[in-house]
Amino acid sequence: MNILLIGSGGREHALARSLSASPLCSKLFIAPGNPGTSQAGTNVALDVTDHQAVIDFCRVMAIGFVVVGPEAPLVAGLVDDLTAAGIKAFGPSKAAAQLEGSKAFTKDLCAEFNIPTAAYRRFTDAETAKTYVRSYGVPIVVKADGLAAGKGVVVATSFEEAESAIDMMIGGGLGTAGAEVVIEAFLDGEEASFFALCDGTHAIPFGTAQDHKRVFDGDEGPNTGGMGAYSPAAILTPDLQARVMREIIEPTLKGMASRGTPYKGILYAGLMLTKDGPQLIEYNARLGDPETQVLLPRLNSDLVEVLLAAVEGKLNSVSLSWSDKAALTVVMAAKGYPGTVEKGSEIRGFDKAEALDDVIVFHAGTKQDGDKIVANGGRVLNVTALGRTIADAQAKAYEAVSKIDWPEGFCRRDIGWRAVARERG
């Protein structure tokens, strides 16, 4: 069948590579895609916010399956509109994508179905929120309810910090996303990501990962979309994974179904592993970026087959096969990221990096400029390697990074440090 993939980042390059490898995939189109996805299929300049244009494209190109990468089109209801037009599409409906689109929605669901998460309150009035913070104490966490591109969470260690976050959010600093805030208890522990593939009724584990959100080595500096990741996350032992399925994922699926908004798609749980067990920090309604770049290279199963099974409600008959290898990805970003960056600098050395065994260089923010590849965003490349252990994958990934000739870029030098320290015991 012909497949259309929506998105343009490193996650979509990884998805495009795995989708195109499936015997079920005839032609793959990516809208809008990037120079990396064009190695796996045909990029098309579609305006994905124009749902009718996407539907028309699917009809003309006889697309049998649409896979949506990022959250914005999910929250905008693209899957609903495609489904209504009789086109199979992977990802949650608009109503189900509220698990990512609204933090207040998710916290209320957790409260209703007894899902472990930080205690919370919701506020639309800044003064009431501040009075609550004063009575509660610090540390405390202030979150914008809506999608805020990674800028909507402030872990406040002082009243001043909490209050200025409340003023900024409710005052419109994040647009409508901050009109309501969720204020929640600070959770102490190590973070890990757990992915589940869901078909509305059944969920199966879809791998684990850990990422590095801070821009500088040693987890210092401002938050970013993620500077690197690795999979699996050994801290999520088989016992803990079973507990996450039982206490967090399955009650969520039951709750969503009982509300008449069954969840189909990837459910990405950001977890805090506290001394009282795993607690949900947040849900995402999609695969992670850059986590996908370390999950999919480890998946031996046919991606198209399993995503179709999820759409068709048939996951109870699917069991996934994973490589024994570990994967690690290093994000190469343009200097200045996560602040303003310059676009247009040339990147060389792809061939040398990819000539190494078990190395894949995913394009995240690049552009084709004649016969050159140039930087076109903040996070630009995801240099990924597979290895026997995380340490082995880390060594290979950094060897590949050294082959990339891009003076205007930088990366963290310590991706995977927690897992490598754990492997060394």
Question: 22 or 329, CB closer to ligand GLY?
Answer: 329
Do 379 and 365 form a contact (C-beta atoms < 8 A)? Answer: yes
Output 364 or 391, the one with its CB closest to ligand GLY: 364
Least distance (Å) from ligand AMP to the CB of residue 213? 6
* Backbone phi and psi for residue 96, each to the nearest 5 degrees, phi listed first: -75, -30
When CB distances are held under 5 to 8 angstroms depending on the partner's kind, the choice from ligand AMP, ligand GLY, none that residue 187 binds is: ligand AMP
Count of residues touching ligand AMP (by CB under 6 A): 12
* Nearest-approach distance from CB 206 to ligand GLY, in angstroms: 14
**Binding status of residue 288 toward ligand GLY by CB under 6 A:** yes
Q: Which stretch binds ligand GLY (CB under 6 A): 138-146, 283-291, 318-326, 349-357?
A: 283-291
| Exposure b/e, 256-284, CB count within 10 A at least 16 = b | beeeebbbbbbbbbbbbbeeeebbbbbbb
197 within 8 A of 203, measured Cβ to Cβ: yes
CB of 191 to ligand AMP, least distance (A): 6
Buried b (16+ CB within 10 A) or exposed e, 215-241: beeeeeeeebbbbbbbbbbbbbeeebb
- What the block records as the tokens of 258 is 């009982």
Residues contacting 394, CB < 8 A, separation 6+: 230, 328, 385, 387, 415, 416, 420
Give the angle subtended at the CA of 263 by the CAs of 260 and 265, to the nearest 5°.
Answer: 155
Least distance from C-beta 71 to ligand GLY, angstroms?
8
State yes or no: residue 145 binds ligand GLY (CB under 6 A). Answer: no
Judged by beta carbon, residue 200 or residue 226, the one nearer ligand GLY is 226
Q: Is 155 in the site for ligand AMP (CB under 6 A)?
A: yes
Q: Yes or no: say if 384 and 328 are a contact pair by the CB < 8 Å rule.
A: yes
Per-residue burial over 20-40, b if 16 or more Cβ lie within 10 Å, else e, is bebeebeebbbbebbbbbeeb
Query: Residue 268 to residues 272, 347, 352, 356, 366: CA-CA distances in angstroms?
Result: 13, 32, 34, 31, 26
Nearer to ligand GLY, 93 or 293 (CB): 293
List binders of ligand AMP among 213-252 (CB under 6 A). 213
Q: Among all chains, which residue has been given the structure tokens 């299929």?
A: 41
226 binds, among ligand GLY, ligand AMP, none (CB under 5 to 8 A by kind): ligand GLY
Of the ranges 61-69, 127-135, 285-293, 393-401, which one interacts with ligand GLY (CB under 6 A)? 285-293
The interface region with ligand GLY, picked from 31-39, 139-147, 288-296, 368-376 by CB under 6 A, is 288-296
Question: Quick check: 153 binds ligand AMP (CB under 6 A)?
Answer: yes
Give me the least distance between CB of 182 and ligand AMP, in Å please: 9
Among 284, 293, 376, 394, binds ligand GLY (CB under 6 A): 284
In this structure, the strands spanning 379-387 and 326-334 are antiparallel
User: Is the Cβ–Cβ distance between 97 and 256 less than 8 Å?
Assistant: no
Of the pair 41, 225, the CB lying nearest ligand GLY is at 225
Cβ neighbours of 125 (radius 10 Å):
12
| Residue 280, token pair as written in the block | 């949900």
Residue 69's binding partner among ligand AMP, ligand GLY, none (Cβ under 5 to 8 angstroms by kind) is: none
Q: How far apart are CA 183 and CA 180, in angstroms?
A: 10
User: In Å, how far are 86, 244, 261, 316, 421 from 252, measured between CA atoms?
Assistant: 27, 11, 11, 17, 34
Taking the least distance from each CB to ligand AMP, the nearer of 100 and 199 is: 100
| Binding partner selected for residue 289 from ligand AMP, ligand GLY, none, CB under the kind-specific 5 to 8 Å limit | ligand GLY
Among residues 32, 77, 270, 377, which is the contact residue for ligand AMP, using CB under 6 A?
270
Site string for ligand AMP, 169-208 (x = CB under 6 A): ---------------x-xx---x-----------------
Q: Which residues bind ligand AMP (CB under 6 A)?
A: 118, 141, 153, 155, 184, 186-187, 191, 213, 270, 281-282
Binding site for ligand GLY (CB under 6 A): 211, 225-226, 284, 288-289, 291
